Structure 1
């Protein structure tokens, strides 16, 4: 089965269902490794942070990859970006539930945090909710195509900033966080290069059309 055939089979809600099943299975499977409930929930926070990162990264670079490396696979990523994005929203919903549960189990968790510490994550979640809601036809039609495009473009960069901040602040405590931080930085470069390449193609097409 080639990559285009795989994407045709895992189209739309089937792909979302597979993503949802994978996220839940990884979360439950990881939790089973820890007999202590607090450690188990903490592991759920970690695993959903990683699944969310992978899914967001895929949606973030999809259009740029389709421009820079055109293929059936990259075009498939663009076609299925909505469902990948909704999969990311689901993963981060599970992540939020795990954080809330951990806060209930560890009474020192929430008092140790303040609004400044919570602001980046809360802002990110606000945009995730808005972007997920406007991924459906009704809300998208309500706000119009221009506002939709601005919301999703802004939301993408806000979430990138939140991820960058989160990983960067953890590097002094554990250097392993430099890896996802570097990956995210590379993804930003890929996206910007994709936008630049797309702009160049549009100018070339406009020039060719004017000379025809």
Structure 2
């Protein structure tokens, strides 16, 4: 796997780009693209090819840190090509969105278009274009190494957050009966949870003792996991509470993902991980404070 030219670099990109393209062409031939419903179905179908790739990209560096082996090192080395394959899958979605917005504007603006979704989707495509351009030397030379890392990390987070939040709403709010919605939600959650775990591993001190931080952190992580599996039970009450202020309702219209309900379980897990890996030596004791 390390040396085979068929599954490394550009050959890997072509595998990941052309196989979904073949399925997309086949699905297009079997779908009535003269109707807006048919084009909408193709938009959803194209997303199913893109989402696993962005979740894999999100988790790659974390898996390499948590589980260093030949597979994770291979993934890390080829992350750029997986990312470019993800971009081609998103291009299919963009093409069908353009098709329905131009060919069936009444249907699009009546049944599909929402300002909040447009802001989130457009922001995602802007990130994607910037990341594609700076994945090549002609674009990367305009950014410092630090700026490049900020752009690509921010882009990955945003591009992960959009489908993850969609599948969270599908499962927690709409009660979807599609198993793929639950699978993709679980994959998206796992991808970011792995990043938190890798971050925790980099912070963890050797031979840490059990303390109040350990207990509190464990409870927060456990609580986050429970919330992640029971979104349908708490989303309505939490959403009502978070959107009660008028200012919050205004932000919901303009700020992507506000008020961040899908991400609350991960926030708890992150806080718990921070407590679990808190360096006791950095916390002054009562004697030190008194002194």
Q: TM-score range by the shorter chain?
A: 0.7 to 0.9
Aligned equivalents of 2:107, 2:119: Cα separation in 1: 16
Task: State yes or no: 1:191 paired with 2:189.
Answer: no
Q: How does 1:10-89 map to 2 (within 5 A)?
A: 10-35=7-32, 37-38=34-35, 39-89=37-87
1:137 aligns with 2:151: no
Q: Distance in 2 between matches of 1:27 and 1:48?
A: 7
| Cα distance per residue 1:72-118 (max 9 Å; x no partner) | 11111000000100111111011110111123343333322242231
Equivalent residue pairs, number: 198
In structure 2, the CA distance between the partners of 1:36 and 1:137, relative to structure 1 (3 Å rule), is closer
**Structure 1 unaligned runs (5+)?**
202-212
**Equivalences for 1:110-189 in 2 at 5 Å?**
110-112=108-110, 113-171=113-171, 172-173=173-174, 174-176=176-178, 177-189=181-193
- The unaligned stretches of length 5 or more in structure 2 are 206-291
Query: 1:158 deviation in Å?
Result: 1.2
User: TM-score normalised to the size of structure 1?
Assistant: 0.83
Q: Which residue of 2 aligns with 1:209?
A: none
Go from structure 1 to structure 2 and tell me whether the alpha carbon gap of 1:149 and 1:106 turns closer, same or farther (over 3 Å shift).
Answer: same
**Which whole-Å CA distance do the structure 2 matches of 1:117 and 1:128 have between them?**
16
Structure possessing the higher relative contact order (Cα contacts under 8 Å, 6 or more residues apart):
1
Look at both structures and tell me which one has the larger radius of gyration over its CA atoms. 2
Q: Does the Cα contact within 8 Å between 2:8 and 2:78 map onto a contact in 1?
A: yes
TM-score (ref. length: structure 2): 0.62
State the distance in 2 between where 1:109 and 1:152 align. Answer: 35
For 1:142-200, what per-residue CA distance to the aligned partner results, in whole angstroms no more than 9, with x for missing partners? 11100000111111111122122222333333243343222211111012212332455
Most deviating of 38-47 and 60-69: 38-47
Query: What corresponds to 1:107 in structure 2?
Result: 105
Partner Cα distance (2:24, 2:38) in 1: 10
Q: Could you say what the CA RMSD is over the residues aligned between the two structures, in angstroms?
A: 2.1
Change (3 A) 1:103 1:149: same
Distance 2:2 2:60 in 1: 15
Asked whether the equivalents of residues 58 and 157 of structure 2 are also in contact (C-alpha less than 8 Å), the reply is: no
On the 8 A contact 2:52/2:184 being kept in 1, the answer is: no
